[in-house]
């Protein structure tokens, strides 16, 4: 059992096929090592693959006030940061690419917190604040 039968994601994030394929590779690897304890070995490998996209989709869903669930400080901070990353990404193709790489499971979410990326987020938001509130002209 794998793919949607094992874990079905919210389709708006477009991760279901990627995970199904990754799970099929994991199954092939498990089978290559023999059939002893195959179920436990495969489900352990599949759980590790599912963890990251599940966290991504749950974190994003929990940004909506109507969604039930706990919102620990770590999650609220991450979502606060992601909102600012989205703003900066509107005029920064590097940030847009980094976000899409994370969403498409090429990079881990933690990569969005790397210093170089965080600096771009900060710069992008600072520029926007300046544009929204330009310094007052001396009269």
Ligand X SMILES: Cc1cc2nc3c(=O)[nH]c(=O)nc-3n(C[C@H](O)[C@H](O)[C@H](O)COP(=O)(O)OP(=O)(O)OC[C@H]3O[C@@H](n4cnc5c(N)ncnc54)[C@H](O)[C@@H]3O)c2cc1C
Length, in residues, of the chain = 139
- Encoded one letter per residue, x for contact with ligand X by CB under 6 A and - for no contact, window 110-139 reads ------------------------------
Q: Number of C-alpha atoms within 13 angstroms, CB side, residue 134?
A: 3
Q: Judged by CB, which is closer to ligand X: 16, or 109?
A: 16
Place of tokens 């790489």: 101
The continuous run of DSSP H or E covering 49 comes out as: helix 38-61
Cα–Cα distances (Å) from 135 to 8, 47, 88, 125, 129, in that order, read 50, 52, 20, 16, 10
Residue 54, interface with ligand X (CB under 6 A)?
no
Residue 11, interface with ligand X (CB under 6 A)?
yes
Residues of span 19-38 touching ligand X by CB under 6 A: 20
Residue 15, interface with ligand X (CB under 6 A)?
yes
Figure out which of the listed residues 1, 10, 14, 90 binds ligand X, where binding follows CB under 6 A.
14
**Chain residues that interact with ligand X, rule: CB under 6 A:** 3-5, 11, 14-18, 20
């Amino acid at each position: 059992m794998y793919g949607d039968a094992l874990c079905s994601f919210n389709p708006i994030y477009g991760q279901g096929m990627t995970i199904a394929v990754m799970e099929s590779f994991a199954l092939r690897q498990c089978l290559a090592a023999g059939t002893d304890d195959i179920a436990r070995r495969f489900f352990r490998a599949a759980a590790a693959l599912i963890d990251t996209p599940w966290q991504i989709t749950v974190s994003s869903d929990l940004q909506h006030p109507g969604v039930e669930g706990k919102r620990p400080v770590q999650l609220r901070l991450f979502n606060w940061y992601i909102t600012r990353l989205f703003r900066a990404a509107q005029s920064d193709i590097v940030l847009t690419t980094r976000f899409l790489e994370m969403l498409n499971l090429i990079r881990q979410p933690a990569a969005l917190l790397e210093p170089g990326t965080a600096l771009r987020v900060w710069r992008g938001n600072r520029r926007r604040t300046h544009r929204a509130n330009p310094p007052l002209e001396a009269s």
